[in-house]
């Protein structure tokens, strides 16, 4: 794979914008909440613009790693600051930019401890951006933890339903994940004998024996898999999602869970392809159980956010199933699904967040007839639901379709089960839509205002992205292929 170095360090610029935004927010007096929000919106908008630019400026004909920047950071340990993007990470950067920007706009009406909230969100997103663009194992680990720890405070301070429990559970689970990742990283770095944390050098075929790869892959798979909501390590996820405030749920389900899947791909699969092939069948099994389980558990929920939380488990299972096929199509579908699911859940949580902010309830039974009282809010909710169901012309459809096709070829049984489960899932999501948006109107909510124009902006952005990538899937697939085809071809 060629590596094209950047003339202008755009990737570092994204990180610096996040960092600069963070310091600007910290420097702004607490009282000036409006200015803090403006700073947040502008900085997050700038990172989005940079991500969009990268997405289109990436030379698909050349492929490989582009916009690379490399500086020796801790020479005594072989650690370098090495950023670059390829067809796998660019969709993730774009996703982060979109969810970050819309998440900030969604929280426009926040009044409680505004300064700390936005500062922590910036810190979190800094970690997320860093992880997606980093190619040095040390930095990948550092960014991973930078993105996790703000979550504790974000959920515990600004959350709702059982927030302290949810925050503690989430943090402990995710740190348990990193407790597996760090030893595995060190194991591979030491085993390579190269004295470097550089992912590109370590992923040379023949660096690790198949036995080493099989061993390390399990640790990476579980470690990152916890964050990706892999069954049976998913239990933190619905609880955490429910407890988190709207923007945090959006970023969390939309982007953070992708970090897990991306980590499995970037670290686990890149470094240990033999291990990947060896454990693929088990990964497929766990993913399928996750899909089925997520749907069945979702059927029983009475809380709107729990419904989305469990649907996330099931949708992330599709990503896992795609990865488990060990095929180009599987990889393409998985990465596409990561992107699509990120946008879709962001829309889901932002629409539910609005409903909750106004009605102060997430109980499905207490809602009803919202399409009459809040037609716009329920329209966004319905679009998100349809995307979740996998309706054609909306983004998720393509990811799911490609994953299912490739999984039918490799694991006919798992593929059948997964598709069956999704059919049931469609049923349960539509049931939720029916109970909340249609049916008898609840008089209690009749006086509530609908989504204002300002608050509609982030939701409209999300909807248009969903439609855009639903109508033109090749926009993304062509990008992912520039990475997946050479990668699979390079495997021994």
Partner 1 sequence: MNWMAFTPELTYVAMAAVFLGLSMAREDHRRDFHTALVFSAVGVGVSLASAGVTADLFAESYRVDLFSQVFKVLLACGFFLVVVLCNELSGVKRRLHPEFYLLLTTSTLALMLLVSSVHLLTIYVSLELSSYSLYVLVYLRKNRPRRESTVVHYFLIGASASAVMVFGIALLYGSTRTMYAVEMARVLPSVISQPAAAIGFVMTLAGFFFKLAVFPFHFWAPEVYEGAVNQLTTYIATASKAAAIALLVRLTALGDSSAALAQVLVVLSIVTMTVGNVSAIVQKDLKRLLAYSSVAHAGYVLIGILSMNPAGYAGAVFYSAALVTLKFTCFMVLVKVAADGANITVDELAGLHKRSPILALALMLSLFGLCGIPPTIGFIGKLLVFTAAVEKGYFTLVLIAMINVVISLYYYLLVLKAAYLTEPKAGLPPLPVSAGDRLLAGTLIVLIVGIGFYPDPVIQIARSAAAVLL
Subset of 180-199 contacting partner 1 (CB under 8 A): 180, 182-183, 186-187, 189-190
Task: State the minimum distance, in angstroms, from the CB of residue 74 to partner 1.
Answer: 5
**Burial status of residue 404 (CB atoms within 10 A of its CB: 0-12, 13-18, 19 or more):** buried
Longest dimension (CA), the chain: 70
Task: State the minimum distance, in angstroms, from the CB of residue 293 to partner 1.
Answer: 25
Task: State the minimum distance, in angstroms, from the CB of residue 357 to partner 1.
Answer: 21
Closest to partner 1 by CB, 173 vs 428, is 173
Residue 218, token pair as written in the block? 């399990």
328 near partner 1, rule: CB under 8 A: no
438 near partner 1, rule: CB under 8 A: no
Task: State the minimum distance, in angstroms, from the CB of residue 238 to partner 1.
Answer: 21
What is d(CA 303, CA 490) in angstroms, rounded to the nearest whole number? 47
25 near partner 1, rule: CB under 8 A: no
Q: Is 33 within 8 Å of 76 (Cβ atoms)? A: no
Lateral strand order in the sheet of 65-74: 3-5, 65-74, 79-85
76 near partner 1, rule: CB under 8 A: yes
CB atoms within 10 A of CB 1: 14
224 near partner 1, rule: CB under 8 A: no
Helix (H) or strand (E) segment spanning residue 5? strand 3-5
19 near partner 1, rule: CB under 8 A: no
Among 99, 128, 153, 307, binds partner 1 (CB under 8 A): 153
Closest to partner 1 by CB, 34 vs 77, is 77
Task: State the minimum distance, in angstroms, from the CB of residue 51 to partner 1.
Answer: 23
236 near partner 1, rule: CB under 8 A: no
393 near partner 1, rule: CB under 8 A: no
Count the residues of the shown chain that bind partner 1, applying the rule CB under 8 A.
31
Q: Is 389 within 8 Å of 423 (Cβ atoms)? A: no
Q: Is 54 within 8 Å of 68 (Cβ atoms)? A: no
Closest to partner 1 by CB, 183 vs 420, is 183
111 near partner 1, rule: CB under 8 A: no
What is d(CA 428, CA 300) in angstroms, rounded to the nearest whole number? 9
29 near partner 1, rule: CB under 8 A: no
What is d(CA 417, CA 318) in angstroms, rounded to the nearest whole number? 11
56 — phi, psi (to 5°)? -90, -25
168 near partner 1, rule: CB under 8 A: yes
Q: How many CA atoms lie within 13 A of 193 on its CB side?
A: 4
Task: State the minimum distance, in angstroms, from the CB of residue 270 to partner 1.
Answer: 20
What is d(CA 431, CA 30) in angstroms, rounded to the nearest whole number? 44
Among 6, 13, 157, 391, binds partner 1 (CB under 8 A): 157
217 near partner 1, rule: CB under 8 A: no
List Cβ neighbours of 84 (8 Å cut-off, separation of 6 or more). Answer: 3, 11, 65, 66, 67, 68, 69, 133, 135
Helix (H) or strand (E) segment spanning residue 56? helix 33-57
What is d(CA 172, CA 180) in angstroms, rounded to the nearest whole number? 13
Among 16, 62, 71, 172, binds partner 1 (CB under 8 A): 172
What is d(CA 71, CA 21) in angstroms, rounded to the nearest whole number? 24
Task: State the minimum distance, in angstroms, from the CB of residue 138 to partner 1.
Answer: 8
Task: State the minimum distance, in angstroms, from the CB of residue 212 to partner 1.
Answer: 11
Closest to partner 1 by CB, 74 vs 413, is 74
Using CB under 8 A, which of the segments 91-99, 178-186, 237-245, 410-418 binds partner 1? Answer: 178-186
> DSSP string spanning 39-53?
HHHHHHHHHHHHHHH
Task: State the minimum distance, in angstroms, from the CB of residue 102 to partner 1.
Answer: 27
Subset of 112-131 contacting partner 1 (CB under 8 A): 116
Stated length of the chain: 492
**Residues within the interface to partner 1 (CB under 8 A):** 73-77, 116, 138, 141-142, 145-146, 149, 152-153, 156-157, 164, 168, 171-172, 175-176, 178-180, 182-183, 186-187, 189-190
């Amino acid at each position: 794979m060629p590596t094209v170095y950047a003339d202008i360090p755009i990737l570092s610029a994204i990180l610096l914008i996040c960092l600069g935004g963070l310091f600007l927010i910290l420097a702004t007096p607490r009282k000036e909440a409006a200015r803090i929000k403006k700073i947040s919106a502008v900085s997050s908008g700038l990172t989005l613009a940079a991500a969009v630019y990268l997405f289109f400026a990436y030379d698909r004909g050349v492929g490989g790693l582009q916009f690379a920047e490399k500086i020796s950071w801790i020479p005594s340990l072989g650690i370098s600051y090495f950023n670059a993007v390829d067809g796998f990470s660019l969709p993730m950067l774009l996703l982060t930019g979109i969810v970050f920007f819309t998440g900030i706009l969604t929280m426009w009406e926040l009044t409680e401890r505004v300064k700390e909230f936005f500062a922590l969100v910036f810190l979190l997103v800094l970690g997320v951006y860093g992880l997606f663009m980093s190619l040095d194992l040390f930095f990948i680990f550092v960014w991973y933890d930078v993105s996790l720890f703000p979550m504790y405070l974000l959920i515990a301070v600004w959350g709702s339903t059982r927030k302290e429990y949810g925050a503690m559970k989430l943090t402990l689970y995710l740190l348990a994940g990193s407790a597996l990742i760090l030893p595995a990283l060190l194991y591979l770095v030491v085993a390579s004998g190269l004295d470097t944390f550089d992912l590109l050098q370590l992923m040379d075929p023949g660096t690790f024996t198949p036995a080493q790869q099989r061993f390390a892959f399990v640790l990476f798979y579980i470690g990152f898999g916890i964050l990706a909501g892999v069954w049976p390590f998913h239990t933190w996820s619905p609880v955490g999602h429910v407890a988190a405030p709207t923007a945090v749920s959006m970023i969390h389900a939309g982007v953070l869970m992708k970090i897990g899947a991306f980590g499995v791909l970037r670290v686990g699969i890149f470094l240990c392809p033999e291990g990947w092939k060896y454990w693929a069948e088990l990964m497929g099994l766990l993913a399928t159980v996750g899909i089925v389980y997520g749907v069945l558990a979702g059927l029983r929920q009475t809380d709107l956010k729990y419904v989305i939380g469990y649907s996330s488990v099931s949708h992330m299972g599709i990503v896992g199933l795609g990865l488990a096929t060990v095929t180009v199509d599987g990889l393409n579908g998985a990465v596409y699904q990561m992107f699509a699911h990120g946008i879709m859940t962001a829309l889901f949580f932002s629409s539910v967040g609005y409903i909750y902010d106004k009605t102060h309830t997430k109980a499905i039974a207490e809602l009803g007839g919202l399409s009459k009282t809040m037609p716009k809010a329920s329209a966004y909710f319905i679009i998100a639901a349809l995307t979740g169901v996998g309706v054609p012309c909306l983004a998720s459809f393509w990811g799911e379709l490609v994953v299912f096709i490739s999984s039918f070829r490799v694991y006919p049984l798992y593929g059948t089960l997964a598709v069956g489960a999704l059919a049931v899932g469609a049923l349960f999501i539509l049931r939720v839509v029916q109970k909340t948006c249609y049916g008898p109107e609840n008089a209690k909510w009749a006086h509530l205002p609908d989504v204002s124009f300002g608050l509609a902006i982030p939701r409209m952005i999300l909807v248009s992205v969903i439609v855009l990538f639903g109508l033109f899937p090749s926009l993304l697939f062509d990008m992912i292929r520039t990475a997946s085809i050479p990668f699979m071809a390079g495997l021994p």
